[in-house]
Amino acid sequence: MRLEARPSLSRTALVVAPFAAIAFTLGVTMLLVAWAGAPIGETYALMFDGGFGSRFAWSETLTRATPLMLTGLSAAVAFRARLWNIGAEGQLYAGALAAVAVGGLHGGTGFDLPPAVLFPAMLGAAVLAGALLLLIPTLLRTRLGVDEVVTTLLLNFIVLLFVSLMLDGPMKDPTALGWPQSVALRDDLQLDKLIPRTRVHTGIVYAIGLAMALAFVMRATTFGFEARAVGASARAAAFVGVPVARTMTIVALISGGLAGFAGAIEVAGRTGYVTLDMSPGYGYSGIVIAMLAGLNPVGVLVAAIFIAGVLVGADSMSRGVAVPTYIADVIVAVSLVSMLVATLFARYRLRWT
Amino acid sequence: MNDRTPPALRLAGITKRFGDLVANDSISLTLAGGEVLALLGENGAGKSTLVSILFGHYVADAGTIEVFGKPLAPGDPAAALAAGIGMVHQHFTLADNLSVQDNIVLGTQPLWSLAADRAGPRARLLATAERFGLRVDPAARVGSLSVGERQRVEILKALYRDARILILDEPTSVLTPQEAAALFATLARLVAEGLSIVFISHKLTEVLRVSDRIAVLRAGKLVATLDSATADRTALAELMVGRSVRKPVAREHRRGETVCALTRVSVGDADGAGVLDDVSLAVRAGEIVGIAGVSGNGQEALAELLSGLRSATAGTVSVAGIPLPAEPGAWIAAGVARIPADRHAVGVVGDFAVWENAIAERYRKPFASAGLLRRSAARKYARALTDRFDVRGAGLDAPARALSGGNLQKLILGRALTGGFAQGDDFAPALIVASQPTWGLDVGAVAYVHQALLDASARGAAVLLISDDLDEILAVADRVAVIHAGRLTDARPTATWTRAAIGLAMAGTPSPAEAAG
């Protein structure tokens, strides 16, 4: 048994791959549902209902999808250039912390600046924090050949510990009754609600706009050409004169910046302050979303809504039947593995010898 | 020949398909005892597939193999070994860090014994070496041996396992002419000892020299089996290619000013070891300078240096009198047309569309403005390029990896020679650096590449041709320099070199007296 490269890459196969992966994933998790002793049909129906079945469900799903779109874009742009940024989780927290550092109510009032100045400064600080955090592993990679999978992954833990330090120290909210949480963001820096009486905020507009911009950049600009060339073959790219290290560095700044931006959007759109559990693994889920989307920025939007729907749906499902919400994590994880296998089969076929 | 003794090897109706490709189409062959049978064919004719089936790496879709009258189990290399088939691969399968004896004995001794028996195998190894006239030092480390010596170890490895049939896959591709002559003498000795040999090659001269019979493969089919004694070179070439071969037309040769100058250049690798050592060379407009040598003697570093991928640790490199930095963009801008040795991994981005690869060297200028790709101009240029250079087999939007080797090379050649201009007369490269430009191409594509280099030099380009194929260099180059262990001889007119002198220089033992002969 061995793998043989398909003579030509079929676009249909690449489009079908994520759907096949999701179908396979739901098939596998069905076994777990059955094992938990719950009725399979009802469980999935409840999950779908909880994610997409009502106006409220949709509003919750879109709220959850907003940071996932941004971390998904972060992973997609990096992976396209074969920069394996596994650190979006840490970059998101760094961005969130930077946002509060600029726009928080330090000493009860915060900086004495108008929101028209402070709002862009807050977003800029978050983008910068995420970008700089990814810049370090990227320079280690391009200069010294240090594997960025390891460095970006481990930086996540360092950042989380740093956030913990800040939340118990300089940025601790004195009114939070001892809970480790940061001071709140100024009210006039919070994002507006997009749909009244829901939690959907204007962050999703930013995410959609950035996806469109990124799709355009990757397809139509010389930088997009460079980034794609570096990802497809760094040796060939170097031969034709693409500045490989510089391209990687710019890609890193964009990828880290997007993840940092996700942190600011979460603080300004949903939580209002930083806590250690503000992200239930958005950075890691972004990797799954990017893969499901085939690294296509517009596809990321769709995949983020799907994954968000699963996460939200599982929450409401677990209240109806005796299946823990962890099933959502299993679905996300299995769909990543299935997607990797599906992509493999889109490019190769199995031969029995 | 006695009809009752079975032939050493009998293949009957061997067929192997890979998807839609028929790599072997009902091939039937016999190999008599004590015979040298040459398998002649171009790259992709099915020689390697056939041998891989024989040795059990692939299983044939149809057909049978008999060795000395007994059927051979398909898909089992161990069975092939046990039946007495020995294989010498083109790329050697030796462990550099082990001794000659360890390499040869490896795999023939029981795994679970406390003390390895060393004296017994050593005696047997020396006896085998003696019998076949293959001198080796059992204690020498393989990493310290020359390529010719390593090949000897490979042959000995097969003989140590009592091979009665020896298969050699393109055995001369890495040898100097002298080493090749030594190999042919060894083969004669093996045949005298009763072995049968299958000799795989695409080189007509050596096939005619060593074999008793020649089997010609083309596009998976056995097109002819001929006696070597009566076979004719031209007829063989046409059988191999399937049509008459047009030879490149030599052009009028006018030497102009020096375009590319290397002055006392040294290049070190990442570990600081020298890969080019005090190399000086001048290539003038309108001439083709060939760099001959056994692969791995610094050709790669020289090609990378002259493509802007590597910087010199000492000395100066200049094009048209201007020193260029180690940035491919600077070399492209200076009008240097670069043909890399690895056309699949370096020459193109395989996943990129044909049109994207066509503009890849000039995606900033002229195919972009204000950071935006000028898609329609790019496609228009790519279409003109693929028409003019006859790139077939895939549309502009297909990934470049879908192109065959010959078409890929035409695309790279076209990209380098047209410099981003759709019309032919608007650009002429000052310098062409072609590294192994015909490696693995079929005869038609080889002629096309040679003609393109000759035409470009006739229009005034200085051409540096780096090739492992001595025949190619002698056919195309005006002057030849030989590279060995990072050192380059003077580039002298091709007519003043003899094959023997080049061979000596390739082996690193040039003496002025012999070289002049």
Residue B332 with chain A: CB contacts under 8 Å? 240-241
Q: Measured between alpha carbons, how far is B320 from B323 in angstroms, rounded to an integer? A: 8
For A194, list phi and psi in degrees, rounded to 5: -85, -40
Q: Cβ separation of B349 and A4 shorter than 8 Å?
A: no
Residue A221 with chain B: CB contacts under 8 Å? 368, 371-373
In our burial notation (b when 16+ CB lie closer than 10 A, e otherwise), range B33-46 reads bbbbbbbbbbbbbb
How much is the pLDDT for A209?
Answer: 98
Judge whether B184 and B192 are in contact, CB under 8 Å: no
How much is the pLDDT for B106?
Answer: 85
Distance from CA of A192 to the nearest CA of B (A): 35
How much is the pLDDT for B446?
Answer: 87
How much is the pLDDT for B246?
Answer: 62
Nearest CA in chain A to B308: A239
**Token pair belonging to B190:** 């093996």
Nearest CA in chain B to A347: B351
B94 closest CA partner among B45, B146, B132, B56: B146
Judge whether B491 and B281 are in contact, CB under 8 Å: yes
Distance from CA of B367 to the nearest CA of A (A): 9
Q: Which amino acid is at B284?
A: R
Is ipTM > 0.90 here?
no
Residue A226 with chain B: CB contacts under 8 Å? 363
Residue B398 with chain A: CB contacts under 8 Å? 8
CA angle B381/B387/B389 to nearest 5° reads 100
Judge whether A195 and A112 are in contact, CB under 8 Å: no
Contacts for B255 with CB less than 8 Å, ≥ 6 apart: B284, B285, B286, B287, B478
Residue A7 with chain B: CB contacts under 8 Å? 19-20, 402
Residue B20 with chain A: CB contacts under 8 Å? 7
Distance from CA of A219 to the nearest CA of B (A): 9
CA end-to-end distance (rounded Å), chain A: 5
How much is the pLDDT for B375?
Answer: 94
Distances (CA, A) of A347 to A15, A78, A334, A343, B318: 12, 21, 20, 6, 44
DSSP label at residue B285: T
| Sign of the four-CA dihedral A108, A112, A114, A116 | negative
**A window 227-286, beta carbon within 8 A of B:** 228-229, 232-233, 235-241
Q: Residues in chain B whose beta carbon is closer than 8 A to a beta carbon of chain A?
A: 18-20, 58-59, 75, 307-309, 327-329, 332, 338, 340, 345-352, 356, 360-361, 363-364, 368, 371-373, 375, 398-399, 402
Distance from CA of A349 to the nearest CA of B (A): 11
A222, A233, A353 ranked by CB distance to B350: nearest:
A233
**Token pair belonging to B464:** 């540096």
pTM above 0.80, yes or no: yes
A221, A232, A236 ranked by CB distance to B372: nearest:
A221
Q: In tens digits, what is the pLDDT along chain A, a chain of 353 residues? A: 677 777 666 778 888 888 999 999 999 999 999 998 889 999 999 999 999 999 999 999 999 999 999 999 999 999 999 999 999 999 999 999 999 999 999 888 888 899 999 999 999 999 999 999 999 999 999 999 999 999 999 999 999 999 999 999 889 988 888 788 999 999 999 999 998 889 999 999 999 999 999 999 999 999 999 999 999 999 999 999 999 999 999 999 999 999 999 999 999 999 999 999 999 999 999 999 999 999 999 999 999 999 999 999 998 888 888 888 888 889 989 988 998 898 888 878 777 65
Q: Cβ separation of A232 and B352 shorter than 8 Å?
A: yes
Long-range Cβ contact pairs of B393-398 (< 8 A, separation 24 or more)? B394/B354, B395/B354, B396/B353, B396/B354, B396/B355, B397/B353, B397/B354, B397/B355, B398/A8, B398/B353, B398/B354
Judge whether B174 and B295 are in contact, CB under 8 Å: yes
Q: In tens digits, what is the pLDDT along chain B, a chain of 517 residues? A: 455 678 899 999 999 988 777 889 999 999 999 999 999 988 778 888 898 899 888 889 999 999 999 999 888 888 998 999 999 987 788 888 899 999 998 878 776 766 667 888 899 999 988 888 888 888 999 888 888 888 899 999 999 999 999 999 888 877 888 888 889 999 999 999 899 999 998 888 888 989 999 999 988 899 999 999 888 888 888 888 777 666 666 666 678 899 999 999 999 876 666 789 999 999 999 999 999 998 888 999 999 999 999 999 999 999 999 999 999 999 999 999 999 999 999 999 999 999 999 999 999 988 999 999 999 999 999 999 999 999 988 889 988 988 888 899 999 999 999 988 877 667 889 999 999 999 878 777 888 999 999 999 999 999 999 998 888 899 899 999 999 989 999 999 999 999 889 988 988 875 554 444 3
Contacts for A142 with CB less than 8 Å, ≥ 6 apart: A244, A245, A248, A249
How much is the pLDDT for B517?
Answer: 39
Q: Cβ separation of A241 and B18 shorter than 8 Å?
A: no
Owner of token pair 């240029």: B381
* Cis peptide bond N-terminal to B366, omega within 30: yes
Judge whether B241 and B443 are in contact, CB under 8 Å: yes
Nearest CA in chain B to A353: B59
How much is the pLDDT for A180?
Answer: 86
